[in-house]
């Protein structure tokens, strides 16, 4: 596994900037690698679309089943707490723990799926906010799993997953590209560009932000 450096740089008002110096690279002049990037982008896009569509569907389902928002949150939260305790809090919070684990190579094949399920249910019952970082963690853990399947550098694939799922679930294109540039640098910007474009296209205009103006 190639070396890399993850850092949290302190900024004004105590805010932190997360960045990863990835040393791995992939030859984007190779047609095979280009096709692999397209395929990975499509897979990440599908997962992002599953997140956004399931979130919208579950919000409607829970609202119809339990109209009182306080009862809805109270009842389902009990099940959520039990589930999170079973997994010893691995899927609690924003998912920064899973992002770190993805770069250090300690991720299970089902981490991305369980994080997706717990996040979608939490948001669907009425809790607000906290979508972005969980999307990063879902993408990062999925990227870790896809890397050996397609014989891609692990840290690079984790970084691509980090931005790709976010691009799809939020139905955005420029933002994930800029995030990839800021967090991981411009060394493999072509790969990030391809991933984000195809993840965005696969999304089909479905977004976690229902008030978003449709682009096409």
pLDDT of residue 2: 42
Give the tokens for residue 29.
Answer: 């002049």
Task: Return the minimum-mean-pLDDT range out of 4-8, 41-45, 207-211.
Answer: 4-8
For residue 6, how many other CB atoms are within 10 A of its CB? 15
Classify 204 in phi/psi space as left (phi over 0), alpha (psi -120 to 50) or beta. left
Q: Is the pLDDT of residue 18 over 80?
A: no
148-173: per-residue pLDDT in tens?
999 999 999 999 999 999 999 999 99
List, in order of start, the domains of the chain with CATH numbers: 33-203 (1.10.3080.10)
pLDDT of residue 205: 79
Mean pLDDT of 101-129: 93
Distance of alpha carbon 164 from its chain centroid, rounded? 7
37-51: per-residue pLDDT in tens?
999 999 999 999 999
* Torsion angle in degrees (nearest 10) through CA of 5, 132, 10, 12: 150
Give the tokens for residue 17.
Answer: 């900037």
Compute the mean pLDDT over every residue in the chain, rounded to the nearest whole number.
Answer: 89
pLDDT of residue 187: 84
Q: What angle do CA 89, 101, 115 make, to 5 degrees?
A: 45
Mean pLDDT of 139-150: 97
pLDDT of residue 105: 77
Q: Is the pLDDT of residue 111 over 50?
A: yes
Residue 17: enclosing H or E segment and its boundaries?
A: strand 16-22
Mean pLDDT of 116-132: 92
Three-state DSSP class for residue 44:
helix
Total-model pTM: 0.89
Mean pLDDT of 85-104: 94
Three-state DSSP class for residue 85:
helix
pLDDT of residue 130: 82
Paired strand residues for 6: 20
CA distance 33 to 39: 10
Give the tokens for residue 113.
Answer: 């799926």
193-203: per-residue pLDDT in tens?
999 999 999 98
């Amino acid at each position: 596994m190639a070396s890399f450096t993850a850092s949290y740089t302190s900024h004004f008002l105590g805010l932190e900037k997360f960045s990863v110096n990835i040393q791995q690279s992939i030859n984007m002049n190779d047609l095979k690698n280009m096709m692999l990037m397209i395929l990975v982008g499509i897979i990440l896009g599908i997962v992002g679309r599953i997140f956004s569509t399931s979130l919208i569907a579950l919000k409607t389902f829970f609202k119809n089943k339990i109209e009182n928002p306080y009862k809805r949150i109270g009842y389902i939260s009990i099940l959520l707490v039990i589930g999170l305790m079973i997994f010893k809090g691995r899927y609690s919070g924003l998912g920064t723990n899973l992002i770190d684990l993805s770069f250090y190579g300690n991720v299970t094949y089902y981490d991305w799926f369980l994080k997706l399920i717990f996040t979608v249910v939490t948001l669907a019952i009425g809790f607000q906010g906290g979508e972005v970082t969980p999307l990063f963690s879902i993408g990062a853990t999925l990227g870790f799993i896809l890397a050996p399947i397609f014989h891609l550098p692990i840290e690079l694939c984790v970084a691509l997953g980090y931005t790709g799922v976010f691009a799809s679930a939020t139905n955005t294109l420029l933002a994930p590209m800029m995030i990839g540039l800021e967090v991981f640098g411009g060394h493999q910007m072509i790969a990030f560009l391809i991933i984000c474009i195809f993840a965005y296209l696969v999304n089909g205009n479905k977004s976690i932000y229902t008030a978003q103006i449709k682009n096409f």
